[in-house]
Every structure is written in structure tokens, then in C-alpha cells.
Amino acid sequence: MPPSDTPAGPPAPASDRAGVLVLAGTPIGDVADAPPRLAAELAGADVIAAEDTRRLRRLTQALGVQTSGRVVSYFEGNESARTPELVDALAGGARVLLVTDAGMPSVSDPGYRLVAAAVEKDIRVTAVPGPSAVLTALALSGLPVDRFCFEGFLPRKSGERLARLRENENERRTLVYFEAPHRLDAALAAMAEVFGADRRAAVCRELTKTYEEVKRGPLAELAAWAADGVRGEITVVVEGAPAPGPGDLDPAELVRRVRAREEAGERRKEAIAAVAAEAGLPKREVFDAVVAAKNSAPPAP
């Protein structure tokens, strides 16, 4: 057999090989962070689906890459309509490369619909791993990173924003959000209201770019800082909720948490066990609170 580093020769025509969807990470700021494989994939793809074709052109120029494949736009406004076209190309054997403006496709960017459609058709999906604002902000935040959850962008409307944050109020994992700069002060103020003014957080701005800045502190202080206006791409990292100690939660709160888990689809037994573990209480104590609440409820009309 030839050695593994022997050149494979020119690629076979698309019609003679299986199609593959490649999700490629692109720099979130500094173009020098581009993954080494990105240039090869850009040069060899049969179809390049780009969130912004103008940004793609600037990227290929910066990398010194000459593309030969067909370039199509693939963004939020045409994602649903263009997905079947790209799936047809994949089914015909094409190598389709998906790139977004920055970071990994599908992470608060176009890509999920195409991946789901390709998987449904049993088409191979792979990735060129690359920069991620989520992971970069986590690493720089100074907050615990052993467990975290990504919440994407918060709703624009105040009431909906508060409702979403209240869903995360008792989340003990570190939280990561994206936010637009002109809404940052309102978002941080809402976080301080829901999570507490003293909850630690970090605002990561313009990551890997010339004016990169990481501002750390309690949520109330960060909200006051952001009130003067902030520019650039923003990622916010927030410390998770502290673990409640025994006796910190009254029976009504225990019942509320059990009901919330039941409404989310958990069986009562599992919900009671989970709430007891969160609160550091015996399961019997949570069970008794649920039974007492049921017995005290007024009869249905």
C-alpha cells in the first residue's frame, strides 16, 4: 500500500463520488486565526454556501485562495428556500462548504436546517473546527468553565427578555449570551434584576480584534459601565446560580420548581428527586411539600 501522505490525485467528478457537507469555522476577528484546512476546503469545494458573499470574497483574498466552485448566498432570509437546492447538490455528489460571517456555522448562525436536511438524507456531514466566540469568551471570563450553557441572543422586547432570564434564574452552570451593543445596557440591567446585582459576569468585546476588551465585575457595575455606550461584537458570560443550602428554599418554592419540571415533561418522581438534589434536601421533604400543596388547593369548579 502507498504511504498515507501520498497525494491522492485530482478529485473525482461530483457525480462519481458521495456528497459531503462541510461546516467550516471562520475567524471571529483576526484572519490569522483561520484553521489551516479552511483554505484547502475553499479551494476544493464544488459549492460554497456563504452567509455573506462579500465577506467571503474578502476572506479568500486575505487567505490568498482562488475558489473554483459555485458560490451561493445562505443566510437567515433565504435559508429555508435554499436548503433543498443544496441538498440536491449533495445528493448529486457535490462537496458543499458552508461558511458564516464569523465562527462556526449553526451556532447562532445559519446551518442547522441544512445539517438536519442532510442527516435526514443520510448524507455525510463533517466540520473544519475553528474559532468560537462562545469558547473564547468562556476562557477569558475568569468564571467557572467546567459546566456551561449557551443561550444565544436574548429577545429584544423587555418583557420577553425578562421571561427568558427568569428561565435561567436557578441555572447553576455558567451562562453565555450574545448581545447587540445597543441593547447591552438594558440586557445587563435585566440580568442584575433577575440574577442579582452582585452576580459576577464578564463582557467580552471585539474578541481577537485590535480593540479587544474584557470587562469583569458584578452585573450592576457592568450595567452602569455599559450605559455610556459600547461598540463591537459582544459576548456576555455570567456566573451560574449558587447552590442553595438546606432550608434556603421554602415549601412554596420547592413546589414551584417541581411543577416547572413536570410542565417541561419530567415525571413527578424524577422532578421531586431533581429538586431535592438541587436544594440539598431529603426527597421526602420535597414530596411532603408537593402533597401539602395539592391538599390545600381549592377544589376545581
At 234, phi and psi to the nearest 5?
A: -120, 135
Residues 6+ apart with CB under 8 A from 127: 22, 23, 24, 25, 104
Output the nine-digit C-alpha cell for 45.
469545494
Question: Is pLDDT larger for residue 161 or for residue 265?
Answer: 161
pLDDT digits 0-9 by tens, 113-145: 999 999 999 999 999 999 999 999 999 999 999
Residue 62 burial (CB count, 10 A): 12
- For residue 204, the surrounding DSSP H or E stretch is strand 200-205
pLDDT digits 0-9 by tens, 5-46: 544 444 555 555 679 999 999 999 999 999 989 999 999 999
Amino acid 265: pLDDT: 86
Q: What is the pTM for the complete model shown?
A: 0.76
Specify whether the CB–CB gap between 113 and 129 falls below 8 A: no
For helices 268-279 and 283-296, give the axis angle rounded to 10 degrees: 120
At 293, phi and psi to the nearest 5?
A: -65, -35
Measured CA to CA, the distance from residue 195 to residue 141 in angstroms comes to 17
Measured CA to CA, the distance from residue 12 to residue 265 in angstroms comes to 49
Written in H, E and C, the secondary structure of 246-261 is CCCCCHHHHHHHHHHH
Kindly list the distances between the CA atom of residue 139 and the CA atoms of 131, 148, 207, 278, 298, in Å, as whole numbers in the listed order.
Answer: 12, 11, 11, 26, 51
- Where do we find the cell 455610556? 228
